[in-house]
Amino acid sequence: MLKRFPSVMSGLAVAIAIVLTGAASAMAEVAFELKYPEESKATVQSEAVVDQTLTLAGQDIVTKSTTFAVSTSTIGKRAEDGSLAVVDKVDVFQSELNINGTKIQFDSANPDKKADLPQLEPLLDIYRAVTKFPITKVFDAKNKLTATKLPEGEFEKLSDLAKDQLDPEKMKKATEQLHSFLPDGPVKEGDTWERSTESNLGSGQVMSFRSKYEYKGTVEQDGRKLDKIDGKAFEVSLAINGNPMLQLTKSDLKIKESSSTILFDRERGHVVSRVSKVRIDGPLTLTING
């Protein structure tokens, strides 16, 4: 942390102090820790935009989607064993999907509205489940995630497609990966580290990324000192597992463009903002129906 020096110090003393303090600051290491203050609430707003072109047999299938969500996390009180429950509830969820001109819209304010095409109802069932059921995350005394779960008995009632997306183990992995960008230990400005993450696309499709992160030091925002971390995905791959109707025989996907900027409040122990984008290009060879 930079020190403030009284104005009565001589010019030479100030100059020496600035040099020494600057050198110490540049070499200082900082540690990142997620914090969950008991009996508190936090609101998270997220937006996502997807623009995809898939060419099959010379024909382009253009898919565009926008998603806006607001959720509330309610942190409970630690139990005698130190465990802590955090309940996430989606308050607002709006999505619009356009596949070659066919639109699918969902708004949590009117969740029972049917899809224009009956075959698209299973997708809306996932959105309905996401907005209807709170998700409970359980942490141990050291704030390590131990479980994620829906309300008791609700998972068994879901459709197969919704079960795939809301599987407790998959949700646990997704939650862990949400903060996997954090370094394992103390870092100083300019330090870098790498991470591997996976994204569940449904129907057995899993997209894997390899990303590199760099600690960029601190920035000021709204009167608070925040830590800035920049990231960039440099490797991507696709796998299809357990889907007899769709098999991947060849893939040569490449990252064409990628960037991520994360602002972290070390004092409060949470992410303030995260802006990410990635553009992927390359051929895929698929076998459909064996």
Paired tokens of 286: 């698929």
Q: Which residues of 125-149 are buried (b: 16+ CB within 10 A; e: fewer)?
A: bbbbbbbebbbbbbbeeeeebebbb
Domain residue extents for the chain? 1-30, 31-177, 179-290
Q: What is the pLDDT along the chain (290 residues), one digit of tens a residue?
A: 333 333 333 444 444 444 444 444 455 899 999 999 999 999 999 999 999 888 877 888 899 999 999 999 999 999 999 999 999 999 999 999 998 888 999 999 999 999 988 888 999 999 999 999 999 999 999 999 999 999 999 999 999 889 988 999 999 999 999 999 999 999 999 999 999 999 888 778 889 999 999 999 999 999 999 999 999 999 999 998 877 777 888 889 999 999 999 999 999 999 999 999 999 999 888 787 75
Name 258's Cβ contacts closer than 8 Å, sequence gap at least 6. 211, 232, 233, 234, 277, 278, 279
